[in-house]
Amino acid sequence: MSKQKSLEILYKIKTGEFSPEEALLKLRTEPFEDLGYVKLDHHRELRQGIPEVVYGAGKTPEQIAAISTAMLNKGQQLIIITKLSEDAVETIQKSVPLQYHQMARIGIIGDIPEPDGIGKVVVATGGTSDMPVAEEAALTAEALGNEVVRLYDVGVAGLHRLLARLDDIMKARVIIAIAGMEGALASVIGGLADCPVIGVPTSVGYGASFNGISALLTMLNSCASGVSVVNIDNGFGAGYLASMINHQRR
Domain positions in the chain? 1-30, 34-109, 120-246
Beta bridge partners of 54: 81
Going by C-alpha positions, the residue among 157, 151, 158 that lies closest to residue 177 is 151
Q: Each residue of 36-90: pLDDT tens digit?
A: 666 767 767 767 777 888 999 999 999 999 999 988 888 888 999 999 999 999 9
- Supply the CATH classification number for the domain 34-109: 3.30.110
Contacting residues for 34 by C-beta, under 8 A, at least 6 apart: none
Q: How far apart are CA 98 and CA 61, in angstroms?
A: 12
Q: How far apart are CA 89 and CA 142, in angstroms?
A: 21
- Supply the CATH classification number for the domain 120-246: 3.40.50.1970
Please tell me the pTM assigned to this model. 0.85
DSSP-assigned letter for residue 113: P
Q: How far apart are CA 90 and CA 180, in angstroms?
A: 32
Separation of first and last alpha carbons in the chain: 26
pLDDT cut 90: percent of the chain above it: 73
CB 109 within 8 A of CB 98: yes
